[in-house]
Structure formats: structure tokens, C-alpha cells
Amino acid sequence: MQYTQFQVDAFAERVFAGNPAAVVPMPDWPNDALLQAIAHENQLSETAFFVPEGDDYGLRWFTPTHEVDLCGHATLATAHVLFTHLGCTSQRLRFRTRSGVLHVQREQERLWMDFPAQPATPAVAPVALLQAIGQEPHAVLAASDWMVVLDNAAAVDALSPDLSLLQQLDLRGVIVTAPGEAPVDFVSRFFAPRYGIAEDPVTGSAHCTLGPYWRERLGKDKLLGEQRSQRGGRVQCRVGDTRVQLGGTAVTFLEGTIYVPDP
């Protein structure tokens, strides 16, 4: 069996920035073991697979070790592939996913993803989380991920967490965030060693939690977040009561063919 595979740098305006994702179009779904094996072989934070479903697309995301419920940068990468390489002329895409129907709208050069908001609530921090961070947090909250709020961007930049301790935590990953400096409203980093990702370069889905938090704290519906990983990237956020729109651009790094065993 052969499949075309694209590798796209999402939330980036040039290659070697943002978050790389693999995107694999498929005519129909193979078994899950094959999807996970391809993602493990790629060793990227996410590999996205999609199949046509009428006028929509079924979309699934896999880390090297797990299928996940929601992924922003690989959704952005998938929409980029459809618009740029596969001749999609619509201005709006519909993806059927484990998180419901997600829309991606093309607005000039920018793509806007419509995702469910995942607001966090204050929580008692596990001892392993505090030990791993090694700093006194301003606040600790929880949603799909733990979220640790620090006092300033310098503290986020200086962070070198103990990944073996983070791996013991019960949620998907750990968001660390702090106020930014204009024009950036907030900064963040994201760690998910339980899912085979030490540090994710730019995490769209984390902004479904970051957006509502900073909207309430700053009193703004439109926000600019900057993820301060080594590659780095910026995510524009339009935050509503139940949905978050995430905007960004993407750049293709490669297109090739993968070869897998016949079923």
C-alpha cells in the first residue's frame, strides 16, 4: 500500500518554525494499528489522517503513542494541504472528529479554526506537578490539561521541568503560561511526556484553555498568544462563551510517498 504524506509547519510563516505535523490523505480508514504505526514512525508530535465523508472529512490525530481527542496544529496543517495541494476551492471545511464537527475558514492567507472552548477551573496542584515545575505558581487550574500560571514571561522561558515527574500526572499534559508584552497578550509552553511529547512547539488545542483564561483575566475577546518553545509560534484567538477561534498560517516542508504492508 502507498499513501501520499505531507509534512507541514503549522502556526508558521516559514519552514523550520512553528509546529511540524504530518498529514496523510486516505481513501478510507485502515485499522487503527496501522494509523498508530505510521504516527510512531514519523515521530512528530502529531500525524493527521483524513478521509472524505460526503462533503465533509473524517479527521483523526495520533501522537507517536496515542490517538488524541483534539489537535490544533495538525488540523491547521490538514486544511492547508486541502487548500494548497488538493484543489479544494471552498472557503470553509468541515471535519468530523472525536471532538465533534470542527470548521476551518480561509480568510485571505490566514486559516481560522473553530474549536470548543475548554475553560479551566482552579485545582489543587499535585505534589509531582509542583516539584516538576520548581517554581511557586501564581495559580494552578485544570481542564483537559493542567495549567500552571507564572508571574512573567521570563519565568516561562527559564522553565526546565522534570519530565519524569510530569509523566506521572493524570491529565494529557501541562500548560505553563504568563502575561506577555505588547503586542503579545500571553505566553505559554506545553509539555506532554505521557503522550510521547516532551515539549510541543506550538499547541493549538491548549489555546482552547488559554483563551478563556486570558479573556477573563484581561477583559479582551481578541488575544494574541505566543508559545515560547525553541521553534516558537503565535496563535491568534477569538474567544466566545463556548467556542474559540484559532488563527494561523502554515507552510509545506515536504511531500512524499509512504509504503506500508498490505492489509
Using DSSP's 3-state secondary structure scheme, residue 250 falls into: strand
DSSP classification of residue 157? H
CA nearest to 246, candidates 237, 256, 257, 258: 237
Task: Give tens-digit pLDDT for 64-102.
Answer: 999 999 999 999 999 999 999 999 999 999 999 999 999
Residue 46 bears catalytic tag: yes
- What's the predicted TM-score (pTM) here? 0.91
CA nearest to 115, candidates 65, 61, 183: 61
* Rounded distance between C-alpha atoms, residue 242 and residue 262, angstroms: 43
Q: Is the pLDDT reported for residue 179 higher than 90?
A: yes
Confidence band, pLDDT 50/70/90 cuts, at residue 108: confident
Q: Specify whether the CB–CB gap between 255 and 2 falls below 8 A.
A: no
Mean pLDDT across 211-233: 97
Domains and CATH numbers, the chain: 2-108+249-259 (3.10.310.10), 121-241 (3.10.310.10)
Confidence band, pLDDT 50/70/90 cuts, at residue 109: confident
Q: Residue 51: what pLDDT?
A: 98
Mean pLDDT across 100-109: 94
Q: Is the pLDDT reported for residue 261 higher than 90?
A: no
Peptide linkage before 27 cis (omega within 30 of 0) = no
The catalytically annotated residue of 41, 46, 109, 181 is 46
Task: Give tens-digit pLDDT for 184-213.
Answer: 999 999 999 998 899 999 999 999 999 999
CA nearest to 223, candidates 191, 154, 177, 168: 177
Residues in CB range of 99: below 8 A, 6 or more apart: 69, 70, 115, 116
β 19-25/2-10 pair status? antiparallel
Q: Which long-range contacts (CB under 8 A, 24 or more apart) does 101-109 make?
A: 101/56, 102/59, 102/75, 104/75, 104/76, 104/79, 106/79, 107/247, 109/249
Residues in CB range of 36: below 8 A, 6 or more apart: 62, 65, 67
Q: Residue 262: what pLDDT?
A: 79
Mean pLDDT across 19-36: 97
Q: Residue 184: what pLDDT?
A: 98
